[in-house]
Amino acid sequence: MKGICEKEMAYESGFNQKRPISLVRGKGARVWDAQGREYIDCIGGHGVAIVGHANPEVAEAIAAQARKLLVCPGSFCNDVRAELLGELVRIAPAGIARAFLCNSGAEAVEAALKIARLLTGRKRLVAAMRGFHGRTMGALSVTWRKEYRAPFEPLVPEVHFVPYNDVTALEEVLSGGDVAGVILEVVQGEGGVIPGKGEYLKEAQELCRKTGALFIVDEVQTGFGRTGRMFACEHHDLEPDLLCLAKGIAGGVPMGVVLIHERLGRMPPRRHGSTFGGSPLACAAALAAIRFIVRERLPQRAAELGAYFIERLRGLDSPAIREVRGLGLMVGVELKGKAGPYLSGLAERGVLALSAGATVVRFLPPLVISQKELDRVVDAFSEVLP
């Protein structure tokens, strides 16, 4: 009989570079493969599994909603959607008044870029070098890595990249007063787990306000407790005009959101939309996930366990490590060589981690992970390091 990987790879597009592991079950911060082998999951579906795998409260909410109403277009109102929108605005950073619901991080970014052009009547967009915002044409246009962009050019025109954490470069590009929006991550994830400096991000916001550009913050990876605060914006008291979210918002069910500052008002009807955006199923899952995150104080847990994890990783005395950095449970270890062999070594020892660029090993565990499990991750890492 054919194995799962063999069967899947026979028909899969090929875009996904596969690891030879078939994951079939999960619970909390652990997953199991088809042979019953257990792993501590520090990939968490690329940072999605914030509330843990098979979270019973999310599972129950999904099952109950599936029996009640799966589909309700945005042109009608719905009880769970109304509830979720209220909850999102309640937990959002100061100034947020509305939300647009969609289905993924890239879609949230697309919507934010369109809103920036729509409301300012300007075309220019500014993004950061090493930034990552998604793979659809608009989101890709503001994504830095050349290998991702080059085969698909021409992309959206009038995108300008500036070095991250560099106020002068931003001042210069905004001085013309013709920029529709500036999009930044608070911690660059895919770019190598690079935390933004507080003064830089605050100055970026200030410059946007002064020059009439919208300040767009992409918290697709950092949102919902990952960095030790509900939103990474809160570390620096930021009040973005548009805040993009996705990943863990609905406990694993696809959902994206753009949170909208009150000063932008209500969006003009029919200028943007999505068939599946805000489906009652995703809304029910999101409500259950957010209630779990709030009640279990997962942001605080991420802050405490993240500090512990980073300290333990910094204690690994290996010539292969260049730097350990991160915020909360978004952690990167920059190595002097390629990350790939270390990721394989970790997997052989029952730990799943991912890369962030060629030389960074990235850990994005579920926020329900225990200290003991993090100790096991550090022990496994120490075994694969020289």
Ligand X SMILES: Cc1ncc(COP(=O)(O)O)c(C=O)c1O
Binding site for ligand X (CB under 6 A): 46, 104-106, 109, 132-134, 185, 189-190, 218, 220-221, 246
Least distance between ligand X and beta carbon 385 (Å): 26
| Both tokens assigned to 128 | 């950061």
Measured from the CB atom, the residue of 190 and 241 that comes closer to ligand X is: 190
Least distance between ligand X and beta carbon 45 (Å): 10
Least distance between ligand X and beta carbon 106 (Å): 3
Beta-sheet strands, E only, within the chain: 23-27, 30-33, 38-41, 96-102, 124-128, 159-162, 179-185, 187-188, 194-195, 214-218, 242-245, 256-261, 321-327, 330-335, 351-352, 354-355, 360-363
Measured from the CB atom, the residue of 134 and 278 that comes closer to ligand X is: 134
Give CA–CA dist 295/58, Å, rounded.
14
Least distance between ligand X and beta carbon 109 (Å): 6
Give CA–CA dist 249/293, Å, rounded.
10
Measured from the CB atom, the residue of 43 and 208 that comes closer to ligand X is: 43
Measured from the CB atom, the residue of 321 and 353 that comes closer to ligand X is: 353
Least distance between ligand X and beta carbon 259 (Å): 14
Within 13 A of 189's CA, how many CA atoms are on the CB side?
Answer: 24
| Both tokens assigned to 51 | 């509330």
Give CA–CA dist 14/151, Å, rounded.
16
Give CA–CA dist 184/91, Å, rounded.
21
Least distance between ligand X and beta carbon 244 (Å): 7
- How many CB atoms within 10 Å of residue 187? 23
Measured from the CB atom, the residue of 48 and 92 that comes closer to ligand X is: 48
- ∠ CA 211-102-258, rounded to 5°: 25
Least distance between ligand X and beta carbon 136 (Å): 7
**299: phi then psi, degrees, rounded to nearest 5:** -60, -45
Measured from the CB atom, the residue of 30 and 133 that comes closer to ligand X is: 133
Measured from the CB atom, the residue of 184 and 310 that comes closer to ligand X is: 184
Give CA–CA dist 176/46, Å, rounded.
38
Least distance between ligand X and beta carbon 131 (Å): 8
From the list 64, 176, 81, the residue with the least C-alpha distance to 126 is 176
- How many CB atoms within 10 Å of residue 371? 12
Measured from the CB atom, the residue of 106 and 201 that comes closer to ligand X is: 106
Least distance between ligand X and beta carbon 104 (Å): 4
Measured from the CB atom, the residue of 134 and 228 that comes closer to ligand X is: 134
Asked whether the bond before 154 is cis by omega within 30 degrees of 0, the reply is yes
- The H or E element containing residue 312 is helix 298-314
Measured from the CB atom, the residue of 134 and 138 that comes closer to ligand X is: 134
**98: phi then psi, degrees, rounded to nearest 5:** -140, 170
The edge-to-edge listing of strands for the beta sheet with 23-27 is: 23-27, 30-33, 38-41, 351-352
Least distance between ligand X and beta carbon 25 (Å): 23
- The H or E element containing residue 111 is helix 105-120
Residue showing the smallest CB distance to ligand X in the complex: 105
